[in-house]
């Protein structure tokens, strides 16, 4: 790290400049160091992220297109790229009301958000604000001017599921308005609804909670209109005072389906029985149109014109409703588009952006987006011999033959993947439009996709390698909505391998498919562990050294094939000073990744052995690869038994995936420029290695 990022004391009078220098710092790209390099290949037919958000600026001059990792800014007439920047995991990118900047948030489910503003003229980041939220935000949204952040936090207790709502001043990172029990779901609510809440919390489904607590900003950033099953809020953000709403507006937001139209209109569903909405003036509530048929869709605003977007339609992901004629102007297979009067902009299957005539759907103009790094992967696996690679981000996936570099399959995004020893791939494809969630098999090397089975919306399941983990709730007449059974199924034929009931709700858990282990963990002071310690001498002995159970995490390692407990241990988090974000087990080691970007190694009896700074890791039966620094261009290989460093690798682009061969003798690394490296692993590998240009 350069001195300018460290010597804060010398420039204490200008904290903003110092902070910006830290934020803007990027690790210099030096020569690659690739000890033991066996092969290096750039993948053919790159996997390109799908654009999931398109917005036109309020003045109509610019267009932004956002994928899972990047934000592109273009001029609208002509449609031409201006600049791009990486924004991994960013949500809700939008133009400021004066069309001079782009503002968005970063931060996942349960994390503290970060607000960034990028100036179009300078093509640089102009503001960044870290909003520390002790429990993290389950959902969050930023106002168009970037000055207010709305955040919901989990306040659940043993009697009810609860969310609190806070409004933060992004400049000072402090809350200026707080509402306890913004959402409060008690036992009086329908059991199935409460079970859905619990499972979506367990699955960290941010979209579900965004629908539960709807947050909508007016285009000029003047108002926030918010609704939950328990409360409705209108906040004047300029003056930071709440605004009383007439009954007409309350009715329009009562079902949680509403959006602003232009500066002073609102569309909201007011009749849940007939699925109809009203167009009213905001905030007076004066009626412009009623009985607008929107079906079961959500409603979204467009940049300019008398239209709204409906998502989804019965047979398509998106539709355009003409508010003047109250008819459907367009049904689209695309997941996003934006409208300026009689034209719309959308992405094509080949990744280009096109301008269309709204009446005729005739293409008018095309723009090619620049090559961009791939985003965070939702699923990835490599064949045991490292000859085949399958990766997916949220919307698109692909399979490559690594001996030729050629792409064998190009498919929509999947959520789980497994290379079968029988020359096939099993993958979990989520529900899309009218296609149910499906487990499929893709044989190799020929191209043929065979649907093996479908999963319904009520089946809470996740694929981990060759295993399918399911959470099965108790029958609806059971008064305890947390009562659930964990089932482990074989992905090949859905055969039930074993099951275990958790009357008070399942613990958090991770699966290490390579070693066929399930790792479950609970707070040591929780009721299930107190009960376990009374009947299990091994568990009691592991907990005995800790008289104060605050911050102690109890782990069980369970064999996936049999359901038998292989080992138990207790880990001290130092009064919850860190939180596990991932756990793996291999040989006689447990490896934990935490929220402080550290990789911690323990023995099977819970003894801490080592701590490495890093943003990710991969593990084999004998080795541990740690991505050492924030920008993930450097990785270190450790002997898992001795924890001695065996090699250091430096890449020209950040690492997005790594894995070991089945015999542990080779290692594969994929970087975000879609280059695949394979290495020979041996105990003689030098610690630093010689630089190579590959």
Q: Strand runs (DSSP E) across 199-322, as ranges?
A: 214-217, 223-227, 232-236, 241-242, 258-261, 265-271, 276-281, 287-293, 298-300, 307-311, 318-322
Give the pLDDT confidence of 9-25 residue by residue, as tens digits: 555 456 666 666 666 65
Give the separation between CA 256 and CA 233, rounded to whole angstroms. 12
The pLDDT of 394-411, averaged and rounded, is 91
Under DSSP, is residue 308 helix (H, G, I), strand (E, B) or coil? strand
Q: How confident is the model at residue 689 (pLDDT cuts 50, 70, 90)?
A: very low
Are the beta carbons of 503 and 480 closer than 8 angstroms? Answer: yes
Provide the pLDDT for residue 24.
Answer: 62
Integer angstrom CA distances of residue 43 from 88, 389, 656:
21, 10, 14
pLDDT band at 626; cut points 50, 70, 90: very high
664/154 Cα distance (integer angstroms): 42
* pLDDT the model gives residue 13: 54
Q: Does the pTM exceed 0.85?
A: no
CA nearest neighbour of 353 among 331, 334, 340, 372: 334
Dump pLDDT digits (tens) for 86-118: 898 899 999 999 999 999 999 888 889 999 999
Please give the order of strands across the beta sheet that includes 580-586: 580-586, 589-594, 598-603, 608-613
pLDDT at 69: 84
Cis peptide before 559 (omega within 30 of 0): no
Provide the pLDDT confidence category of residue 694 given band limits of 50, 70 and 90.
Answer: very low
What is the pLDDT, as a whole number, of residue 55? 97
Distance set, CA 592 to CA 294, 579, 637 (Å): 47, 10, 16
Distance from C-alpha of 606 to C-alpha of 584, rounded to nearest angstrom: 13
Q: Report whether pLDDT(670) > 70.
A: yes
Instruction: Identify the sign of the CA torsion 155, 415, 212, 177.
Output: positive
Query: Is the pLDDT higher at 73 or at 109?
Result: 73
pLDDT of residue 479: 40
All structural domains of the chain with their residue ranges: 3-30, 507-597
Instruction: Tell me how far apart the alpha carbons of residues 644 and 612 are, in angstroms, rounded to a whole number.
Output: 12
Residue 15: the pLDDT is 67
**pLDDT at 693 > cutoff 80:** no
Q: How far is CA 577 from the centre of its chain?
A: 23
Tokens for 118, please give them.
């990028």
**122-179 confidence digits (pLDDT tens):** 999 999 999 999 889 999 999 999 999 999 998 887 778 889 999 999 999 999 999 9
CA distance 429 to 198: 23
Q: Is the pLDDT of residue 439 over 50?
A: yes
What tokens were used for 86?
């990486």
Q: Within 13 Å and on the Cβ side, how many CA atoms surround 197? A: 22
The residues, ordered by sequence, that sit 6+ positions from 95 with a Cβ below 8 Å of its Cβ are 55, 56, 57, 58, 62, 64, 101, 102, 103, 144
Judged against a pLDDT cut of 80, whether residue 312 lies above it is answered with yes
């Amino acid at each position: 790290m350069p001195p300018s990022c460290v010597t804060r004391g010398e420039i204490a009078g200008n904290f903003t400049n110092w902070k910006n220098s830290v934020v803007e710092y990027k690790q210099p790209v030096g020569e690659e160091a690739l000890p033991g390099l066996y092969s290096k290949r750039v993948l053919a037919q790159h996997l390109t992220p799908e654009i999931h958000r398109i917005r036109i600026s309020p003045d109509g001059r610019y267009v932004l297109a956002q994928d899972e990792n990047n934000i592109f800014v273009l001029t609208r007439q002509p449609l031409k790229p201006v600049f791009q920047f990486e924004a991994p995991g960013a949500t809700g990118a939008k133009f400021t009301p004066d069309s001079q900047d782009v503002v968005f948030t970063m931060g996942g489910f349960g994390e503290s958000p970060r607000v960034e503003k990028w100036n179009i003229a300078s093509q640089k980041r102009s503001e960044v604000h870290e909003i520390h939220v002790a429990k993290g935000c389950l959902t969050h949204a930023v106002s168009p001017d970037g000055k207010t952040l709305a955040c919901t936090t989990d306040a659940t207790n043993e009697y009810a599921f609860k969310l609190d709502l806070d409004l933060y001043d992004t400049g000072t990172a402090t809350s200026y308005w707080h509402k306890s029990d913004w959402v409060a779901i008690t036992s009086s609510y329908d059991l199935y609804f409460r079970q859905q809440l619990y499972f979506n919390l367990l699955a960290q489904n941010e979209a579900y909670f965004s629908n539960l607590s709807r947050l909508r900003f007016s285009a000029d950033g003047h108002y926030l209109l918010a609704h939950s099953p328990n409360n409705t809020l209108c906040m004047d953000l300029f003056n930071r005072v709440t605004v009383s709403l007439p009954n007409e507006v309350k009715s329009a937001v009562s079902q949680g389906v509403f959006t602003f139209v232009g500066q002073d209109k609102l569309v909201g569903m007011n009749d849940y029985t007939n699925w109809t909405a009203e167009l009213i003036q905001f905030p007076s509530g004066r009626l412009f149109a009623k009985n607008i048929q929107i079906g079961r869709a959500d409603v979204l605003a467009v940049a300019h014109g008398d239209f709204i977007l409906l998502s989804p339609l019965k047979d398509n992901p998106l539709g355009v409703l003409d508010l003047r004629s109250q008819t459907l102007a367009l049904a689209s297979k695309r997941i996003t588009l934006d409208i300026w009067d009689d034209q719309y902009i959308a992405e094509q299957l080949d990744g280009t952006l096109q301008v269309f005539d709204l009446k005729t759907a005739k293409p008018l103009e095309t723009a090619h987006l620049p090559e961009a790094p791939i985003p965070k992967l939702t699923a990835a696996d490599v064949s045991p011999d490292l000859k085949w690679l399958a990766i997916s981000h949220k919307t698109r996936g692909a399979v490559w033959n690594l001996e030729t570099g050629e792409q064998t399959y190009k498919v929509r995004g999947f959520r789980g993947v497994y290379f079968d020893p029988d020359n096939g791939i099993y993958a979990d494809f989520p529900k899309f439009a009218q296609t149910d969630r499906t487990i499929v098999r893709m044989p190799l090397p020929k191209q043929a996709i065979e649907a093996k089975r479908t999963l319904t919306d009520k089946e809470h399941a996740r694929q981990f390698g060759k295993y399918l983990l399911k959470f099965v709730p108790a029958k609806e007449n059971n008064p305890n909505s947390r009562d659930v059974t964990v089932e482990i199924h074989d992905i090949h034929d859905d055969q039930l391998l074993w099951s275990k009931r958790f009357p008070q709700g399942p613990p958090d858990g991770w699966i290490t498919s390579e070693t066929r282990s399930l790792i479950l963990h609970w707070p040591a002071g929780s009721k299930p562990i107190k009960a376990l310690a009374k009947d299990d001498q091994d568990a009691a002995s592991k907990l005995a050294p800790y008289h104060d159970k605050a911050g102690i995490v109890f782990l069980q390692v369970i064999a996936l094939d049999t359901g038998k407990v292989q080992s138990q241990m207790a880990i001290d988090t130092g009064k919850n000073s860190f939180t596990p974000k991932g756990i793996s087990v291999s040989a006689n080691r447990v490896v934990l990744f935490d929220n402080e970007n550290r990789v911690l190694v323990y023995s099977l009896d819970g003894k801490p052995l080592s701590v490495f700074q890093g943003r990710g890791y991969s593990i084999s039966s004998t080795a541990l690869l740690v991505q050492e620094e924030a920008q993930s261009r450097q990785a270190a290989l450790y002997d898992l038994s001795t924890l001695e460093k065996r090699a250091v690798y430096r890449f020209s682009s950040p690492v997005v995936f790594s894995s070991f061969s089945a015999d542990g003798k080779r290692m594969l690394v994929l970087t975000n420029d879609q280059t695949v490296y394979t290495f020979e692993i041996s105990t003689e590998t030098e610690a630093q290695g010689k630089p190579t240009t590959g």
